[in-house]
Structure 1
Amino acid sequence: MTAQTPNAEGIERQNTAELVRSGLARRYAAERRFIWYGRAAIAVALMFLIVLIVSVVAQGWSAVLQTKINLTIPLPVEKVSPSGNLTEDELRGTDYNGIIKQALRDRFPEVTNRKEKRALYDLISQGASFELRDMVMEDPSLVGRTVDVWLTASDDVDQLIKGAIDRDVPEEQRIVKNNQLTWIEDLEASESIETHFNTRFFTAGDSREPEMAGIWGAALGSFFTLMVTLVLAFPLGVTTAVYLEEFAPKNRWTDLIEVNINNLAAVPSIIFGLLGLAVFLQVFGLPRSAPIAGGVVLALMTLPTIIIASRAALKSVPPSIREAALGVGASRLQTVTHHVLPLAMPGMLTGSIIGMAQALGETAPLIMIGMVAFIVDLPSSPFDPSTVLPVQIYIWADSPERAFVERTSAGIIVLLIFLVLMNLSAVMLRKRFEKRW
């Protein structure tokens, strides 16, 4: 066996060093490519998020504005209150729609044809008579006077003023006809038509007329539904997690329970809707389209998420806390309730809020139990018929009127704000109460 010459050894070391350097270069290049892939993925995701938010806001911001028309309306006593006593029944039963139509005819006396009169009446919303009724009932001193009143315009007029309907296209291609356009331009010239802040959108329930529809009824329905969900899911989920993590024996039965809890977290939400329809409505007789039924269904759907998050929070508590409590004579129950549970509660609350945010955005299970019904009245309890924000958005998106497009986008904005606030509160709870060991 011949020994290598120094020159050969040097060449071999040089070759080895070159191989190492080339390998390091490839690994570093692969690492840089991976970093750029990650950055590109984040950039694409942010781009799509920005496009989504911008498109929703661009379509929905105009819902906070509503076109109104100023009319001079006489309120003679003989029409409003024939007895002169201004009783509530008389004020409520007055034909305010006829009074508004007369005011329109007085404003445009040249309109005499029946067909043109119908077109003229279409400038004002069908809900304007209720607005005038509420004004008179709130201030009966208006009776016997002639007042200037801003009344809500129809959805077609509203869309025209906001620019959603092009005035320059031929008449057969737009819903606002030429004679209506002439009257609108006359109102614009006299500054009798303006856009005002749409308080009704934030204070009213649903309506067949887009200009009268509001989000408040659905917001109340979501509130009652989430309250029922929280009352049922949070204590049951926390106690289940505490038992499985701290007290349950480790055997095949607890393993089976854990596997099924994890599987339930992945079950499609519509399955829970079918369960609610078959059991809670048909067997237990819970009221259809009520937050109590929706809350029970969403509680079942949210329960696995809360259990899994609560168990993770309990596992994050160091064993030394348990050992120290047991070492000074505390029982297992005292150890859990006085030491472990308070330390794990921030994580439990965070998981619960995230689960509630998930429940807030659910639509399919609530549609299955009838919460897709058209509800005008505002709910006052979990037992009143109501709808929720995602279902309200679904109903508006399915409506043919053009004005419901901006209501749909505005409803999405409100829902996103609620979801962001709930997730932000979860992050703040985590930062505020998190213990680092």
Structure 2
Amino acid sequence: MSTAFLVIEGIGLVLLSLYLAYSLCALVAQPRRWPLRRAPLHFTFVIPALNEAAVIGPTLRNLRSAAPGARLVVIDDGSDDETAEVVGDLARADPGILLLRRRPPHARTGKGEALNWGVAQLLRQGGLAQAPLAEQVLVVFDADGRMDDRLLDEAARVFADPDVMAAQARIRVRQSGVESRGWRGLLGRLLLLQQDLEFYIVRHIQLLRQRVWTVGLGGNGQFMRLSYLAERLAGGQAPWPPVLLEDFASGLEVRLAHPRHRLVFLESGVTQQGLTDVRRFVRQRTRWTHGNLQCAPHLPRIWRTPMALGARLDLTYFLAQPWLNLLTLGLLVYYPARALSRLLTGEVNWALTAALSVPGLLLPLAWVFLYSRENRLGLRRAAFAAAGLPVYTLIMMLSVPLAFRNFLRGEHGWVKTARHAEA
């Protein structure tokens, strides 16, 4: 039995070392300096929308203000609210807004399929700018998104590199939407703050991944060169694979399609609503982890496709995340039980315990400190962020076994995240 304990603790030590090493590298990662030269690009925003009447109007008005010359395309994915009517009213006043409608039984089959269908329609019907496809960039945008005014200028400089096929904007979470009081309101505010803190950490990870051109694509603020999309569709291949994490999978497809393809990160960003309900939050994260599990078939291709070793290791690491998280969850149960057993028998090695615990505690506090400094949080709110981090991590880890259960059962259905109107 002692040998089994040693093996388990050895695995835990390896995982902790890997986590600390990767996090420290991400902590010090710096943005890449791009040339000032701007490519003459034409941007088309594509917004998949399912029952988004509460938010789609303000989003289109924000995009028109921030991107006066861009084309705005809304893919109504079988909404049964007033989404189509809201977009139609705006389109009549603005010829740069286009509404595409999917109807049952073909609608509501997933965001990726809506995007594949919508882009194919645009290429077929000529709903794009009159310019070469290589000079056009498609931007996937969420129905609740708000764009930084500097984002398109940065994208134009990044896409001046012909090898850049896709880019991901930085994401922030708006601190709004909490209406309840008492402990529910407190938990809602904690979730909002922690989601924004999480995306701050993701920003540093993206900066690190950019060194090997493997930046992860997200569903909001996802830029893709239209010539790449047209080539994929012409070859009978879906740019967004039919998985629950279609954005992550689309980035893998870009990187694996050609050794020269680059995925980059944009410092200018977009903001979006956060989730304030624990049940909805766990359901969303379950879908994300489930979608990652569905991407496992990409692993052999990663090691067959010519690319730098660092890129292969990075992509493999992110494909392994669900399994690493499941292992971590088991260790979170094992270590407290083992520590209690040793405490009762007087076998605690306090020096080793401190050596393992202190770095694991200091690193999260370093993230909170940097996040608080960037966002100019007061001491009280920074303390709230630090105290809430373990609670948030525990809630997030609840999604891991649920995702494995759904994946193993073959339950690949999805439930759309509900959004709320904002003042």
Q: Do the two structures share a fold, i.e. TM-score over 0.5?
A: no
Between Structure 1 and Structure 2, which shows a larger proportion of helix residues? 1
- Structure whose CA Rg is larger: 1
Higher strand share: 2
> Which TM-score band applies after superposition, normalised by the shorter structure?
under 0.3
TM-score (norm 1): 0.21
